[in-house]
Amino acid sequence: MVYRIPLFAILLLSTLAGATVCDVTKYGAKGDGKTKDTAAIAKAVNSCVAAGGGTILFPPGRYLTGAIKLGSNLTLEVEAGATILGSPDPEDYPLYDSVWAGDGHTGGSGKTISSLIYAEDAENVTIRGRGTIDGQGENWWRRMGRVPRGQQRTPEQEAEFAKLANGRPRLIEVVRCKFVVIEQLHLINSAVWTIHPFLSEFVRVDGVTIQNPVPSPNTDGINPESSRNVQILNSRIDVGDDCVTLKSGMNEAGRKLGRPDENITITNCVMMRGHGGVTIGSEMSGGVRNVVVSNCVFQGTDVGIRVKSQRGRGGVVEGFAASNIVMQDVRSAFTITTFYQGQDKPGDEFPVNEGTPTFRDFVFNNII
């Protein structure tokens, strides 16, 4: 005889099994888009951590917050109708030591600003939902405002510009993490890079929509850096810089760390309006290898496939296969260069040495 367990019983058993759900509104989050909910959200996170793991739930509402730091065995769930709004205030994002001190995002201080959603040295981290995460990047881009040649910033402009001394907050960043899933979300207006897996492995980004207005400076879509076993699937990326970029550090620092970006698959994605559809570099000194791009559409990007480096970088890009790609209204289908900045030239000034980038074993086919 076969016994069938009713669905309601299965749901009841799941509840009794002790799955922890920490609704941020139960910890004091207002969700009105005006009150800073940072402290309430931190209480919800800490409650889930104390329980050994669980789900931090954002029901419908608009949650203004500074940095949210996640730990192991946590799921951040943004329900349909819920929006997480990144605070425009730098003091709401703690500073931490940067592996790449002086990489252009740390202001040369060795410290870099936290991301809006951040995890470090964690396992089994999931960020998902049908809701929206809005970095409110316009507040940060405005502070970068350039003044006409020959003019100086006003004292007010200087004060705003000084707030960028430690960079801008990425939207989602995981550092030295394992088993990470980012899925379904609508990610918009990131102040700088949108999704940044760094020194991480077994990362899956699936079914996300990323929209950063054009133009918006350095608002790359997904940037795996010195990470391995990364899947980018079923996503739509429309940004003010490169859509997907693979990186592994700059110059001597990247070569010394020696952590390549490797085993990367990018499939079933639509890339729109970015500088490059899929880009490798220019920071690739630790190497990039074993990359497959397949079944993608690039529409309106400046470049389709973009591999860029320069003398002094060193490093090897190898094992790169791209197939079954359609490009429409793309200015340059392929740009592959080891003279990215355009100031250095081949010759005695740049001999072949450890600072010479190497590209090898590329296969491109079935590209329209």
The residue from 241, 329, 344, 348 that is catalytic is: 241
Judge whether 121 and 97 are in contact, CB under 8 Å.
no
**What is the tally of helices (H) and strands (E) in the chain?**
5, 29
Contact 245, 270 (CB under 8 A): no
Spacing of C-alpha 38 from chain mean position: 21
Q: CA-based Rg of the chain, rounded to a whole angstrom?
A: 22
By three-state DSSP, how is residue 253 classified? helix
Residue 241 annotated as catalytic:
yes
CA 165, 285, 140 angle in degrees (round to 5)?
Answer: 25
38 touches 89 (CB < 8 A): no
Distance (Å, rounded) from C-alpha 20 to C-alpha 14?
A: 11
Rounded distance, CA 358 to CA 52, Å? 46
Active site residues: 241
